[in-house]
Structure 1
Amino acid sequence: MDETDVPENLNPLKRFGSDVKRVRLGRKLTQKHLGKAVGYTDSYVSLVEAGKQMPSPRFAKGCDLAFGTNGLFAGLLKRLDEADHPSWFVSYLEKEKKAASICDYSVHGIMGLLQTEAYAHAIFRAGHPHARADVIKGKVDARISRRAVMSQQTPPTLWVVLHEACLRTHVGGPTVMAGQLQHLIASAETPGIDIQVITFAAGAAAAHLLPFTLLMFDSEPTTLYSDGPLGGKLYDREATVAAAVRNYDRLRAHALPPDDSLAMVKGLHKEYTS
């Protein structure tokens, strides 16, 4: 394959990077030359081209100026962020498919892998109040399709610690919540899936942490994913991941045991259906 050819099966983030590389080579620029032109290091350019770094708006605009592409890359980046999966989440999804074990801590909303269609729709509609119906549907379909990872021949084990707020926040109304809790009950009774609830009574043990996910693999180091105000980010620095693992162990220690957690979810389900 010629190094400027672009495979058809690239995810959106890798396709963006591949397009940058193709135009850069067409302009006979090195990564160092492009980095200097756009105000970034050549290592940053390399990561973007490999699909391992979410490009910033400044980088995309800089590419347009350096290449003379009249807003092409700024437009591509904008469409990436409007896609069914935002660009910053694509790298996480690639790793999620390969994980041997997934450990998640959810604070305000139930993690995507365990959401029902109606719950996901309510979440996306609240987050994108002015989006077209087809855009919301695309995001919901993309989220629900993630369940396929749990239907693989060798699915990952899934351990989820839910803050009590996830269960008591009325997302979409009582009917939607009843359906969501019923789905949690069914999930908790599935082999390989453990669910614990950390109650309000746990206090500061849970209050000081943002939601995060640990992805564990058979043949590579554990990766941490954490949400932030501008989107999520993957971390693989050993000390950062180790601190998150310790925090997760503490959360599990302060949470209700799985059987008691399931009983609590069942009790709340009755409240939503009564």
Structure 2
Amino acid sequence: MRRKDIDGSESVPSFYGKELRWKREQAGLTLQQLAEGSFYGLSHLSEIERGQRRMPQDLAEHVDRVLKTDGFFARRCEDVRKARTKGHADYYVEVLELEERAQDIEEWMPDVIPGPLQLEPYIRAVVHAAHPSEPEEQTAEKISARQERAWLYEDSQGPETWLVMSELVLLRPILGAEEMAEQLAHVVDVARHRRFVPQILPWNVGTHPFTMGTTRLMTFTDAPPVMYTEGMYSGQVIDEPGTVRQYTKAYDRLRAAALPPDVSLKMIERAAEDYRSGKLPCGLEHHSLTEEQPHQR
């Protein structure tokens, strides 16, 4: 089978990865041999060569020593970091680093579908709502940056993800009917084919945890858990153990208040069908979904 070549013109990470492969093969080394003596495995290096992962500074210094490249890769780390964060807010840069290493992600979305699940029309609508006057070039950068994060939900090797969304996300038509139908159908399709568990919190559930903005909890195999909370124009990563534990327990209560995953998936699917037929979704109380399976608390 012919190995797929890397197009180094696609992006800075792709250029960087292609150069790494060329230097490694020129030295007559396998990925395993290059990884020896570092804290990283061959799959990590392979993803860097394909332009899919940023090279950490310590690994770049290791590669420079092994390949005798006189600090070339260490000096380029900052270029790659800037390329991968282009189109993202400054406060989100640390989250991009963390989500690449996350083993599990638990997320609460009260207003919109998560970015990695958004299709282009939905991304554009959300971006324009927050930045109505920005140039098209900047909007295009944000759309591209968000699309590149689709792997979080679609890649079978990505983190296991548990998502709780407010029912209002389904009821609020931020796009035309056909585009909303396509967007929600995409969420259903990804949920059926990946390690992505959806739950819907009914709009009329009453008081519940996380009545503020977006919240994400991330756990790792080699580091303590962290949480991230975001508003319209700001975000904060919190790693203080006591606070993270409080948020984790609150998220458990949120999941208990939400509908079961199979019922939630049917709700998303039904909303997509409603939009496709030209109707606005009419909410939980008008559907028979809860009669098919009682709301379990």
TM, length-normalised to structure 1 = 0.69
Equivalent residue of 1:8, what SS?
Answer: helix
Structure 1 pair 176–213 and aligned structure 2 pair: CA distance change class (3 A): same
2:197 to 194, 197, 200: 194
Residue deviations 1:232-265, cap 9 Å, x none?
1100000110111011101110100000001111
How far, CA to CA, are the matches of 1:176 and 1:247 in structure 2?
34
Equivalent residue of 1:136, what SS?
Answer: helix
Aligned match of 1:262:
265
2:108 to 105, 129, 139: 105
Superposition deviation, residue 173 in structure 1: 2.3
Equivalent residue of 1:260, what SS?
Answer: helix
CA RMSD of aligned residues (A): 2.3
Letter in 2 for 1:9: C
Equivalent residue of 1:9, what SS?
Answer: helix
Equivalent residue of 2:132, what SS?
Answer: coil
Structure 1 pair 11–123 and aligned structure 2 pair: CA distance change class (3 A): farther
Contact map agreement 1:198 1:206 (CA 8 A) in 2: no
How far, CA to CA, are the matches of 1:125 and 1:254 in structure 2?
32
Equivalent residue of 1:266, what SS?
Answer: helix
Aligned match of 2:127:
124
Aligned match of 1:141:
144
Aligned counterparts, 1:1-274, within 5 A? 7-10=75-78, 83-150=86-153, 154-206=157-209, 208-274=211-277
Contact map agreement 1:170 1:177 (CA 8 A) in 2: yes
How far, CA to CA, are the matches of 1:113 and 1:172 in structure 2?
17
Contact map agreement 2:210 2:250 (CA 8 A) in 1: no
Which has the larger displacement, 187-196 or 103-112?
187-196
Contact map agreement 1:107 1:166 (CA 8 A) in 2: yes
How far, CA to CA, are the matches of 1:176 and 1:216 in structure 2?
34
Identical-residue share of aligned pairs (%): 30
Which has the larger displacement, 129-138 or 98-107?
129-138
Equivalent residue of 1:102, what SS?
Answer: strand
Superposition deviation, residue 192 in structure 1: 1.0
Superposition deviation, residue 210 in structure 1: 2.6
How far, CA to CA, are the matches of 1:176 and 1:122 in structure 2?
11
How far, CA to CA, are the matches of 2:184 and 2:138 in structure 1?
26
How far, CA to CA, are the matches of 1:244 and 1:185 in structure 2?
27
Superposition deviation, residue 189 in structure 1: 0.6
Note the residue ranges of structure 1 that are not aligned, 5 or more in a row: 16-79
How far, CA to CA, are the matches of 2:258 and 2:174 in structure 1?
23
Note the residue ranges of structure 2 that are not aligned, 5 or more in a row: 1-60, 62-69, 278-297
Aligned match of 1:69:
none
